[in-house]
C-alpha cells in the first residue's frame, strides 16, 4: 500500500532550485527549431503604456520583447503625456525599429485610455499586455504560439507568473489552475500573462475607462462572458516587478485597486443578472460574492449514514435542529447495523421531529450504496451528504451551500472542515495527491489563508469531500450517484465529483460554510488486512479510471507537488513544448 500514500522522502525545495532544473538553457535549447516548424505563426501585438516610467525598468521591459525567441511580434507603446525628457529621448530612439509603434498622447488619460491608444495601433491577430516595469519570459510568445497551434480557435490564453525584485531576482511563483470561473470571481487570478484575440477586444471596445486600478480584471470578466475558448498555459511567462508602490509587492500597496475591483465585480453581477452581492471582507485583494437563495427556497434533504455512536450523531443533529437557520429541509438518518439499545431509544426520540426520518439499510457497510438508497427516498431538490461526526459552527452554513449548489452550471459544493483542535481538515481535494487524491491544506491553522488566499476564497476544485457535500438531486441522478459496485468505502466522493465535472459541471469549495469534523487528526490508512486489501483495490480502480486527472488535475497545476499541497517539488514540472526527453 505504500505506493498509494505520500512517501516519507520528498523532493520539496526552493523556487531557485526549481528554476535551475526546469527553466534553464538546457530546457530551451531546441526552441528555435521548434518555432520554425510551426504551421501557424500569427502576429502578436504587445501593448505597453508609459507615463514618466523608470527608464531602467522600461528598458528592461522593451528588451524582454525584442529578445523574444518568437519573432513575429509588434510592440505598441502609448506614452501618456510624459514630462520626462530622458524618457522621451529613449522613445524617439525606439521609433527606428519598424516592429515598434509609438503613440504620443497630448493629454494624460491614465492607464485605460493609454492602453486603448496602444491598442489603436495594434495590427496583430492576438494582443497581450506588458506593464512598463515588468518583463516577459524570453520564450513567452513561443509558448503562446505553441498552444495556438494545438487549438487555433482559442480566444483567451493565460499563463503562470512570478515576481522579480529591482535586481531581477525571481520569486513567489503563482502556479495557476486551468479555467476556473468561480476563482475568477474571488480574485483576478488570470492577470499576467493574458493574451486575447484582437477581434474579441475590438468587440468589447477595448479597456473600459473609469476602471483604472482594476482595468485588467474588468477586461477578463467582460471577455469571459463572450467566449468559453479559454486556455491556461502552465509555464511562468511573465515576471511582475515587486517594487514599492506596486500591487505586486503587497495587495495593500494600492487600496484603490481593491475598491475598483469590487466595483467591476458589481458591474459583472449586474451584466450577468445574478442575484448576488459583493460583500466587504478582511481578505485584502480577495473577494466574496454572496448568492441569494431562489425566491422559492428549495427543499433540502440532509442524508446522514450512521451506526450507533449516538455521542457523535446527537451533536450533529443538535446542530441541524437548533443551530441551522435554513427553513426548508428534511433529515434522513440511515441506520446501518446499529446494535446498541440507546441508539434505538435516540432514534425513537429524534424521529418525533416532523422533518426527521430513520431509514434502515442492513448489510455490510457500503457508503456509496447507503447514500444512493437514501437519495432514492429523498424529497429535496438539493442533497446534502453529511457524516454523523459533523458539528455545526454557524447558523448560515446550509444557506451558503444551497445558494452555491443551486447556481446554473455548479455541481458538487464542499465546505471548510476543521478538526476539533481548529486545524483545517478539508478545503478542497487535489486529485493525484499522495497517489490518488488528498486534501489541499491538511492540518493548517484555521486562521491561515493559504497561498494566494486559496483556503479562504470560493474556488473551483475537481473534487470535494462527501463528509459535507451539497449537490442538486437532478445532477446526482444524472451522473448515476456514487459508485457502489467499485468504490464501497474509499474515494467514492472523488470519483463522483470527477464524473460530475466530466459531465460539464463545475465543482467548488466555499470557506463560508464552516463545520467541525470529529475525525481523528492522526487518522491514516486502514491497517486491518481485510480493510487494507479493499483500500488497495479501490485505489487501483481509481488509478485506472482517472489516470489522466491523477497525473494532471486541471484545478491544480502540473508544476506543483503531489507530496504536499501547493509546494515546489524539484522532480515535478510541466515540460516546455520544445523540450526534448
Same domain assignment for residues 173 and 51 = yes
Same domain assignment for residues 392 and 461 = yes
pLDDT, position 254: 59
Beta-strand runs (E) in 125-197: 126-129, 135-136, 156-164, 170-174, 194-197
Min mean pLDDT across 46-60, 208-222, 275-289, 451-465 is at: 275-289
CA distances from 257 to 211, 215, 220, 261 (A): 9, 9, 15, 6
- Pull the grid cell for residue 430: 487535489
- Distance (Å, whole) CA 43 – CA 125: 6
Determine phi and psi for 459, rounding to 5 degrees.
-155, 160
At 360-388, the pLDDT tens digits run: 999 999 999 999 999 999 999 999 999 99
Note whether residue 188 is domain-resident: yes
Identify the three-state secondary structure at position 34: helix
Cell numbers 524570453 correspond to: 138
Quickly state the pLDDT bin for 488 (edges 50, 70, 90).
Answer: very high
- Pull the grid cell for residue 523: 487518522
Q: Is the pLDDT of residue 285 over 90?
A: no
At 178-202, the pLDDT tens digits run: 999 999 999 999 999 999 999 999 9
At 510-535, the pLDDT tens digits run: 999 999 999 754 334 456 778 888 88
pLDDT, position 436: 96
Note whether residue 294 is domain-resident: no
Same domain assignment for residues 407 and 526 = yes
Same domain assignment for residues 54 and 187 = yes
Note whether residue 2 is domain-resident: no
At 217-270, the pLDDT tens digits run: 999 999 999 999 999 999 999 999 988 755 544 544 457 888 899 999 999 999
pLDDT, position 451: 79
CATH number of the domain to which 143 belongs: 3.90.550.10
- Distance (Å, whole) CA 464 – CA 466: 7
In this prediction, residues 125-146 reach a mean pLDDT of 97
116 versus 282: the higher-pLDDT residue is 116
Residue whose C-alpha is closest to residue 12's, from 567, 574, 575, 573:
567
Identify the three-state secondary structure at position 44: strand
pLDDT, position 526: 56
pLDDT, position 2: 30
Domain total in the chain: 2
In this prediction, residues 563-574 reach a mean pLDDT of 92
In this prediction, residues 278-295 reach a mean pLDDT of 88
Alpha helices in 40-139 (DSSP H): 55-66, 85-94, 110-120
Same domain assignment for residues 50 and 180 = yes
pLDDT, position 521: 40
pLDDT, position 4: 29
Quickly state the pLDDT bin for 9 (edges 50, 70, 90).
Answer: very low
In this prediction, residues 4-17 reach a mean pLDDT of 57
Same domain assignment for residues 328 and 426 = yes
pLDDT, position 282: 77
Quickly state the pLDDT bin for 581 (edges 50, 70, 90).
Answer: low
- Distance (Å, whole) CA 551 – CA 435: 9
Q: Is the pLDDT of residue 53 over 90?
A: yes
Note whether residue 580 is domain-resident: no
At 376-428, the pLDDT tens digits run: 999 999 999 999 999 999 999 999 999 999 999 999 999 999 999 999 999 99
pLDDT, position 47: 98
CB 333 within 8 A of CB 358: yes
Same domain assignment for residues 462 and 406 = yes
In this prediction, residues 318-329 reach a mean pLDDT of 96
Note whether residue 233 is domain-resident: yes
Same domain assignment for residues 139 and 242 = yes
Instruction: Determine the structural domain holding residue 81 and report its residue range.
Output: 38-257
Same domain assignment for residues 441 and 508 = yes
pTM beyond cutoff 0.85: yes
Quickly state the pLDDT bin for 3 (edges 50, 70, 90).
Answer: very low
pLDDT, position 537: 93
Same domain assignment for residues 233 and 326 = no
Note whether residue 571 is domain-resident: no
Average pLDDT, rounded, for the chain:
92
Note whether residue 564 is domain-resident: no
Share of the chain above pLDDT 70, in %: 95
Q: Is the pLDDT of residue 12 over 70?
A: no
Note whether residue 573 is domain-resident: no
First to last CA, the chain: 30
In this prediction, residues 300-322 reach a mean pLDDT of 96
Same domain assignment for residues 511 and 374 = yes
Min mean pLDDT across 242-246, 436-440, 457-461 is at: 242-246
pLDDT, position 6: 33
Same domain assignment for residues 318 and 443 = yes
- Distance (Å, whole) CA 521 – CA 14: 28
Residue whose C-alpha is closest to residue 388's, from 330, 498, 467:
467
pLDDT, position 231: 98
- Distance (Å, whole) CA 282 – CA 155: 34
Amino acid at each position: 500500500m505504500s505506493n498509494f500514500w505520500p512517501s516519507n522522502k520528498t523532493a520539496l525545495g526552493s523556487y531557485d532550485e526549481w528554476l535551475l532544473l526546469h527553466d534553464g538553457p538546457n530546457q530551451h535549447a531546441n526552441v528555435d527549431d521548434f518555432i520554425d516548424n510551426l504551421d501557424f505563426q500569427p502576429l502578436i501585438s504587445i501593448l505597453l503604456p508609459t507615463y514618466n516610467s523608470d527608464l531602467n525598468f522600461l528598458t528592461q521591459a522593451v528588451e524582454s520583447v525584442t529578445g523574444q525567441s518568437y519573432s513575429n511580434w509588434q510592440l505598441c507603446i502609448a506614452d501618456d503625456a510624459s514630462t520626462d525628457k530622458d524618457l522621451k529621448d529613449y522613445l524617439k530612439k525606439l521609433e527606428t525599429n519598424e516592429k515598434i509603434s509609438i503613440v504620443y498622447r497630448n493629454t494624460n488619460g491614465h492607464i485605460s485610455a493609454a492602453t486603448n491608444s496602444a491598442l489603436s495601433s495594434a495590427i496583430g491577430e492576438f494582443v497581450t499586455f506588458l506593464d512598463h516595469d515588468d518583463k516577459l519570459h524570453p520564450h513567452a510568445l513561443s509558448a503562446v504560439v505553441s498552444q495556438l497551434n494545438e487549438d487555433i480557435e482559442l480566444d483567451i490564453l493565460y499563463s503562470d507568473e512570478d515576481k522579480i525584485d529591482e535586481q531581477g531576482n525571481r520569486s513567489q511563483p503563482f502556479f495557476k489552475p486551468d479555467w476556473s470561473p468561480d476563482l475568477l470571481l474571488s480574485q483576478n487570478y488570470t492577470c499576467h500573462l493574458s493574451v486575447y484575440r484582437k477581434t474579441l477586444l475590438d468587440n468589447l471596445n477595448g479597456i473600459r475607462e473609469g476602471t483604472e486600478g482594476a482595468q485588467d480584471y474588468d477586461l477578463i470578466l467582460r471577455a469571459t462572458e463572450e467566449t468559453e475558448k479559454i486556455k491556461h498555459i502552465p509555464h511562468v511567462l511573465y515576471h511582475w516587478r515587486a517594487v514599492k508602490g506596486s500591487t505586486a509587492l503587497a495587495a495593500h500597496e494600492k487600496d484603490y485597486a481593491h475598491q475598483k475591483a469590487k466595483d467591476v465585480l458589481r458591474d459583472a453581477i449586474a451584466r450577468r443578472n445574478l442575484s448576488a452581492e459583493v460583500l466587504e471582507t478582511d481578505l485584502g485583494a480577495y473577494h466574496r460574492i454572496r448568492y441569494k437563495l431562489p425566491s422559492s427556497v428549495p427543499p433540502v434533504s440532509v442524508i446522514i449514514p450512521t451506526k450507533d455512536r449516538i455521542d457523535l450523531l446527537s451533536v450533529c443533529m443538535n446542530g441541524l435542529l437548533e443551530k441551522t437557520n435554513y427553513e426548508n429541509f428534511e433529515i434522513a438518518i440511515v441506520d446501518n447495523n446499529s446494535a446498541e439499545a440507546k441508539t434505538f431509544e435516540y432514534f425513537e426520540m429524534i424521529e418525533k421531529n416532523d422533518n426527521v426520518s430513520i431509514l434502515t439499510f442492513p448489510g455490510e457497510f457500503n457508503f456509496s450504496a447507503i447514500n444512493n438508497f437514501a437519495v432514492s427516498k429523498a424529497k429535496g431538490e438539493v442533497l446534502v451528504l453529511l457524516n454523523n461526526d459533523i458539528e455545526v459552527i454557524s447558523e448560515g452554513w446550509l444557506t451558503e451551500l444551497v445558494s452555491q449548489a443551486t447556481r446554473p452550471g455548479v455541481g458538487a459544493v464542499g465546505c471548510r472542515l476543521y478538526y476539533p483542535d481548529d486545524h483545517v481538515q478539508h478545503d478542497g481535494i487535489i486529485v493525484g495527491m499522495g497517489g490518488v487524491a488528498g486534501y489541499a491544506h491538511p492540518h493548517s491553522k484555521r486562521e491561515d489563508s493559504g497561498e494566494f488566499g486559496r483556503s479562504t476564497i470560493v474556488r473551483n476544485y475537481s473534487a470535494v469531500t462527501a463528509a459535507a457535500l451539497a449537490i442538486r438531486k437532478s445532477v446526482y441522478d444524472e451522473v448515476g450517484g456514487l459508485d457502489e459496485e467499485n468504490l464501497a468505502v474509499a474515494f467514492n466522493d472523488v470519483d463522483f465529483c470527477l464524473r460530475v465535472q466530466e459531465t460539464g459541471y463545475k465543482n467548488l469549495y466555499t470557506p463560508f460554510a464552516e463545520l467541525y469534523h470529529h475525525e481523528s487528526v492522526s487518522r491514516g490508512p486502514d491497517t486491518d488486512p481485510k480493510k487494507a486489501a479493499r483500500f488497495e483495490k479501490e485505489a487501483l480502480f481509481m488509478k485506472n479510471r482517472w489516470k489522466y486527472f491523477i497525473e494532471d488535475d486541471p484545478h491544480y497545476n502540473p508544476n506543483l507537488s503531489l507530496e504536499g499541497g501547493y509546494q515546489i517539488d524539484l522532480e515535478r514540472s510541466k515540460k516546455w513544448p520544445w523540450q526534448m526527453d
